[in-house]
Structure 1
């Protein structure tokens, strides 16, 4: 599958309209809208539509799903309109391919604590990008735990993997170090730019600090 353009800095788990618009104007390249009902950052569909219609064309819009049906994903995409679809559960590579074929939207597939599930696939089943998150039993992400940077850095040895998005425990204070260690295509943050007690609502000072630190670190990476 052709590899589409991808974002560099994604702020995920937005569920408040005014806050999401402010985040979209913070310098980030993408925002993530979480449609997993059990998530504390789940966004209401009508709010997601309003957010997407307001910022479309300014930043990329990523729809996050966890073990949803293909019908649910397609219906939500038809209403909201995504640049990327993030599968953050136990979805198979075949399911990811089917969603991509049905929607025409590139797939960002999450891997928690390991790259092996996606590393040995036939070429025609590789997702467009892989997201590396921390492995925490009983959770599908959003825990604030650091992912394994040493393991994530091995993505450079996988010639079929064109994009890696690093997530898991990133903050304005450690994102530069993470980028230097892993040299990912992009970084993804949710809780690391929030204030306690308001999941889904971002602290704009923290968002701007995260974006600034990440952009500087990406600029300092060796150029291919």
Structure 2
């Protein structure tokens, strides 16, 4: 199975058209559109289509789902058009395989507080990339809590892990330290680029600071 290129910097949880377009001009490599109805950053389908049609080709578009049905994911992908499908719930490897085979879109599988569920599958389908998020009971992410950087840093020693995207509590102030500690393929921010009380609406100054700090940190990593 071919391993696609992964984005370096993803700004996730956009739900406003004008704000999403501005973020797409910030230098980020990808934007995340959240389709989990219980999320405070959930985007309306029509808005997502409008965003995607406007910024396609400028940034990668990631569709985030939590325990959705394969039909829901397939239909949403047909309407919006994703570069990656992010499974951020309790989905199994068999489910991820079904979604990939149905859509042809690479899978970014989220793991909260552990790499084991996806990293140690002996055979069969493996997601094209893994996202490491913080483990917060009763939550599927977007909490602002830090993920375990020490654990995340072990990802290169695990079989079948081609890419790791680090999420969980990242901000413009700590993203460089996170990149140095974990050496991930990419980083993902949601609340860390927002102002309090405005979930889904990114502060463009924070976005620019995050992008700048992340790019500089990635540039200083040892060359493989």
Q: With structure 1 as the length reference, what TM-score do the two structures score?
A: 0.99
The correspondence of residues 153-192 of structure 1 with structure 2, limited to 5 A, is 153-192=153-192
Which residue of the partner structure matches residue 87 of structure 1? 87
CA distance in 1, matches of 2:123, 2:20: 36
* Consecutive unaligned residues in structure 2, runs of 5 or more: none
Provide the C-alpha distance between the structure 1 equivalents of 2:38 and 2:219, rounded to a whole number of angstroms.
Answer: 37
Report the Cα distance in structure 1 between the residues aligned to 2:15 and 2:46, rounded to whole angstroms: 10
Q: What pairs with 1:22-41 in structure 2 (closer than 5 Å)?
A: 22-41=22-41
Q: Can you list the C-alpha shifts for 1:20-70, whole angstroms capped at 9, x where unaligned?
A: 000000000000000000000000000000000000010000000000000
Residue 59 (structure 1) aligns with: 59
Contact 1:10–1:28 (8 Å) recurs in 2 = yes
Q: Is the 8 A contact 1:88 1:140 kept in 2?
A: yes
Matches of 1:147 and 1:72 in 2, distance apart? 29
Note if contact 2:120-2:160 (Cα within 8 Å) is conserved in structure 1: no
Match of 1:139 in 2: 139
**3-state SS of the aligned residue for 1:63?**
strand
Report SS of the residue matched to 2:160: coil
Q: Is the 8 A contact 1:131 1:165 kept in 2?
A: yes
Structure 2 contact 108–127 (Cα < 8 Å) conserved: yes
Is 1:222–2:222 an aligned residue pair? yes
Alpha-carbon separation, structure 2, partners of 1:220 and 1:80: 35
Secondary structure at the aligned position of 2:109 is classed as strand
CA distance in 2, matches of 1:11, 1:86: 13
For residues 115 and 171 of structure 2, the distance between their equivalents in structure 1, rounded to whole angstroms, comes to 22
CA RMSD, Structure 1 to Structure 2 (Å): 0.6
Deviations 1:124-145 (A, max 9, x none): 3210000000000000000000
Instruction: Say if 2:207 is the partner of 1:203.
Output: no
Q: Is the CA contact (8 Å cut-off) linking 1:3 and 1:162 kept in structure 2? A: yes
In structure 1, C-alpha distance between the alignment counterparts of 2:164 and 2:103, rounded to whole Å: 22
User: How far is 1:119 from its partner?
Assistant: 1.7
What CA distance in whole angstroms lies between the structure 1 residues aligned with 2:56 and 2:119? Answer: 33
Maintained 8 Å contact 2:34/2:63: yes
Structure 1's consecutive aligned runs of 4 or more residues displaced over 6 angstroms after TM superposition are: none
Deviation at 1:155, TM superposition (A): 0.2
2:153 partner SS = helix
In 2, Cα distance between the equivalents of 1:123 and 1:108?
Answer: 18
Instruction: Give the conservation status (yes or no) of the 8 Å contact 1:123–1:160.
Output: no
Q: Does 1:116 align with 2:87?
A: no
Counterpart Cα distance in 2 of 1:216 and 1:155 = 22
